[in-house]
Structure 1
């Protein structure tokens, strides 16, 4: 058993990222049933919707699953109370200070993991008492670190200084990517973009099709003044680029972004005006398939790559 399978009591050290508008209970339970760790993405859910997804997930799997909570959330107290009330055993926190909620969650016997984008924040998370850290390189989709450190350099740098288990994220969609991350020092991997293009993902079919058509160079990190986010280059992205030519203020950027832009793109399928968040690895994703098949494919590919590496 490795440190991550042991920590979460799962079969494979594969965690499905908690992604807004993509990871409801259907995806989380499917990944957990397949031997990984499924996460419900609370970032796009009102408190009552999250409660419903947790309850449905408990019915859909008897395996461990967790909830991902971006701490910028306006209803954060209510969200944390629901997590405790519903008996969730694993919480991944992101976008905030781990000291704020880790003690509360640990008091309730919850395993806590924090997502970081630098060595500095990995060490702060360890100090705050989390059980493991996800170190995410800037290849990742969605909201991202300002440092723009790639996964390939971030993982060994974090590993060098961290005592607790380390999960690699950003640009990992295959078993070969998983092996590379683990050779560099990760104990497990968190996979996001690959699971967006799954049957059980709650994203709109238009968005899923866009993901499998995306090639290298089709995404870019932008809106760093608000919160860096990796987007597909569509009409909305081009509008952002045009606005940058005018040296916009933060207010100008906020006005253009408006509200519910990510929902419009990823959940409602508006490919022109919506915000389409996906990782650079989308160029390697060519089909939409059930989550269980994706997990199986990653493990098969991982084992094959390991055998090949031994013969080098």
Structure 2
């Protein structure tokens, strides 16, 4: 147990990242049941769609889980946040926007607030606004990413030095060595997204999972640099098509349309690699199997303990 697990009332310091419109109750509940913190990502889904996932998650687990709202992505922020009180959801994750206007009310409703940050400045502002936990996300992470391009290894210790609340490391983490390394840097835990895609419970297309298994150390690409909307995705035919559009000079409006959640669903849920994209972090290059969520989390904890014990013996 540490500050993070005590605060969130979870067994292990492992959080599932929000997954936008491909979020679902099956994976969320599986992560929570295995001792981590499952997360429902709202993406651009309607409040009714999110509410159905919340209700199904509650049917599947009585363990804590979180609801993630990407503030500048969702057109229904306040309506979705109203589900916190209605269903007594204990934890809220806020990303992609300013959390300050929402934190006091969420606290009044008894929720703990996690804020996703990509810089020291953002982390300090989130702490000052009352955030309970910072998720510091490095450039290795999947999906929508920061234009600052700061990697996890250098971002985490700087944010830890700048704030006094628990810091969770995200981006490029998917095994026990990753957890051990982030704990050694001073983080209180880790957040993982891509690693949870490649699990048996994850209800995503098998082609998506296989793409992650087959990924090499350069199996992901960044799209959107030319329009200032960075996203890390698996290097599929659709991703290469987007890069060609950028070479020719795509507009921001067209890029946003071609990377909307509609195309995310097409790639991830339907496995249509030429018609939609598949989010993927650089950790994909290290993923070689598809375990159950319980098997994955158990192995991560065992391997992390082993790594930390070996490191301790070096200095004994």
TM-score (norm 2): 0.94
Partner in structure 1 of residue 18 of structure 2: 18
Partner in structure 1 of residue 292 of structure 2: 290
SS at 2:200's partner residue? Answer: coil
- 2:21·2:42 contact (CA, 8 Å) conserved in 1? no
Partner in structure 2 of residue 69 of structure 1: 69
Once the two structures are superposed, the pairs formed by residues 216-255 of structure 1 within 5 Å of their partners are 216-224=217-225, 225=227, 227-254=229-256
Partner in structure 2 of residue 59 of structure 1: 59
Counterpart check, 1:111 vs 2:112: yes
Partner in structure 1 of residue 155 of structure 2: 154
Out of 276, 279, 282, which is 2:281 matched to? 279
Once the two structures are superposed, the pairs formed by residues 265-276 of structure 1 within 5 Å of their partners are 265-276=267-278
- 1:115·1:136 contact (CA, 8 Å) conserved in 2? yes
**More moved, 65-74 vs 252-261:** 252-261
Residues of 1 paired with 2:302 and 2:209: CA distance? 24
C-alpha distance after superposition, 1:76-103 (max 9, x if no partner): 1211112221111101110110113112
Residues of 2 paired with 1:204 and 1:21: CA distance? 14
Structure 1 residue runs of 5 or longer lacking an equivalent are none
SS at 1:311's partner residue? Answer: helix
Moved over 6 A (4+): none
Once the two structures are superposed, the pairs formed by residues 111-190 of structure 1 within 5 Å of their partners are 111-190=112-191
Partner in structure 1 of residue 204 of structure 2: 203
- 2:224·2:246 contact (CA, 8 Å) conserved in 1? no
Residues of 2 paired with 1:45 and 1:259: CA distance? 9
C-alpha distance after superposition, 1:184-239 (max 9, x if no partner): 11011111111011122232222111111111112122213252100112222112
User: Superposition RMSD on alpha carbons, in Å?
Assistant: 1.5
- 1:29·1:38 contact (CA, 8 Å) conserved in 2? yes
- 2:4·2:166 contact (CA, 8 Å) conserved in 1? yes
Residues of 1 paired with 2:198 and 2:261: CA distance? 25
Residues of 2 paired with 1:120 and 1:143: CA distance? 19
Residues of 2 paired with 1:300 and 1:53: CA distance? 31
Residues of 1 paired with 2:278 and 2:251: CA distance? 23
C-alpha distance after superposition, 1:272-292 (max 9, x if no partner): 221111100001111112111
Once the two structures are superposed, the pairs formed by residues 74-93 of structure 1 within 5 Å of their partners are 74-93=75-94
Partner in structure 2 of residue 27 of structure 1: 27
Structure 2 residue runs of 5 or longer lacking an equivalent are none
Residues of 2 paired with 1:287 and 1:79: CA distance? 35
**More moved, 95-104 vs 256-265:** 256-265
